[in-house]
Amino acid sequence: MRPIITIKRIYEAPAKNDGLRVLVDRLWPRGIKKEAAAVDEWLKALAPSANLRKWFNHDPKKWAAFQEQYKEELKQNPAVEAFLKQHKGIKKITLLFGARDEQHNQAVVLREVLEQR
């Protein structure tokens, strides 16, 4: 059985039905305390590389290219398979991100990749 994977801004209040809460940003989001975030795991290894993150800079005009490049990074990233194996029996996973743009961020791409595997 595949887990249900949702995405959520880390600034939103944690909910009981979030399941496993996984932060997928390379940097800790500004202005939020670790206790308030209620993060179960912080997986920097699943985040885009520093160069890709800086290049993208959450510019919607670069979204298509960002998706392609990030998916290519994830194809070559052993942390993806390790994450899926480690959480095989989990029913729900919430990928947390800090970006303001809820449509153009790495969690959107990562969810798609995880759901396809």
Say whether pLDDT at 117 is over 90: no
26-71 pLDDT, tens digit each? 999 999 998 889 999 999 999 999 999 999 999 999 999 999 999 9
Work out how many domains the chain is built from and give that number.
1
Nearest-angstrom CA–CA distance, 29 and 10: 8
Average pLDDT, the chain: 95
Cα atoms found within 13 Å of the Cα of residue 72, Cβ hemisphere only: 7
Domain holding 43, by residue range, is 4-116
Q: Which two tokens stand for residue 13?
A: 């209040």
- Under DSSP, is residue 31 helix (H, G, I), strand (E, B) or coil? coil
67-116 pLDDT, tens digit each? 999 999 999 999 999 999 999 999 999 999 999 999 999 999 999 999 99
